[in-house]
């Protein structure tokens, strides 16, 4: 992606993009890098992350890129990712929560949570919470949660959040994305008047 205007207007900004080794996340990371930002891409596979990093560097000429590894189905890895980031950086200007998965069959995680909801909602919820303090110390900062039109197919059944009474991959995906939007609304409400904004997109 090449945008000709204000090419280096993000120089000095630090950005984290999850799920950045393909699709929307990769395009987002590339666009941010092309504008001069220091971009940290988060992925779960070392080889893919390294290849993505080199490709973005080659396309943008921006050498200020790093990657951190975490499988978002493992909340301990999410915690480790946040800790590793805070060890290396003193600011965070943009957090893009893009990582997500779709499963055709129901998968219970060791946390007792259905996997779609864990990966698509609880993991980014945790990451945002762990990085919120550093975001608040980096004015102005932005949190962007990538949702989906699939949320229109969903309801939030708190009595059967994990579809134990009948699973649909599409409905589970939609519910996780609806949770993203609900989280964003509440986060934006709590951050109102501060130097951090929270938005969802699809």
Residues labelled as active-site residues: 173
State in Å, rounded, how far the first CA of the chain is from the last one: 19
C-alpha 120: how far from its chain's center? 9
> How far is it, in rounded angstroms, from Cα 58 to Cα 61?
6
| DSSP per position, the chain | ----SSTTTTTT-EEEEESTTSHHHHHHHHHHHHTT-EEEEEES-HHHHHHHHHHHHHHH----EEEEE--TT-HHHHHHHHHHHHHH-S--SEEEE------SS--B-TTSSBHHHIIIIIHHHHHHHHHHHHHHTSSSEEEEEE--GGGGG----TTSTT-TT---HHHHHHHHHHHHHHHHHHHHHHHTTSSEEEEEE-
């Amino acid at each position: 992606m090449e945008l000709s205007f204000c090419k280096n207007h993000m120089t000095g900004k630090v950005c984290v993009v999850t799920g950045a080794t393909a699709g929307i996340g990769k395009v987002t990371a590339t666009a941010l890098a092309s504008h001069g930002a220091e971009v940290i891409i988060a992925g779960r596979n070392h080889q893919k992350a390294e290849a993505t990093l080199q490709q973005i560097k080659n396309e943008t000429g921006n050498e200020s890129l790093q990657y951190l590894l975490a499988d978002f189905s493992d909340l301990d890895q999410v915690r480790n990712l946040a800790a590793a980031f805070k060890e290396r950086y003193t600011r965070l200007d943009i957090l893009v929560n893009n990582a997500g998965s779709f499963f055709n069959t129901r998968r219970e995680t060791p946390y007792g949570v259905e996997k779609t909801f864990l990966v698509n909602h609880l993991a980014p919820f945790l990451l945002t919470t762990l990085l919120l303090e550093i975001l608040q110390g980096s004015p102005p900062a932005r949190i962007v949660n990538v949702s989906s039109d699939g949320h229109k197919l969903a309801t939030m059944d708190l009595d059967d959040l994990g579809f134990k009474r009948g699973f649909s991959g599409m409905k589970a995906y939609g519910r996780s994305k609806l949770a993203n939007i609900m989280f964003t609304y509440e986060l934006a409400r709590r951050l109102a008047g501060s130097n951090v904004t929270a938005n969802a997109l699809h």
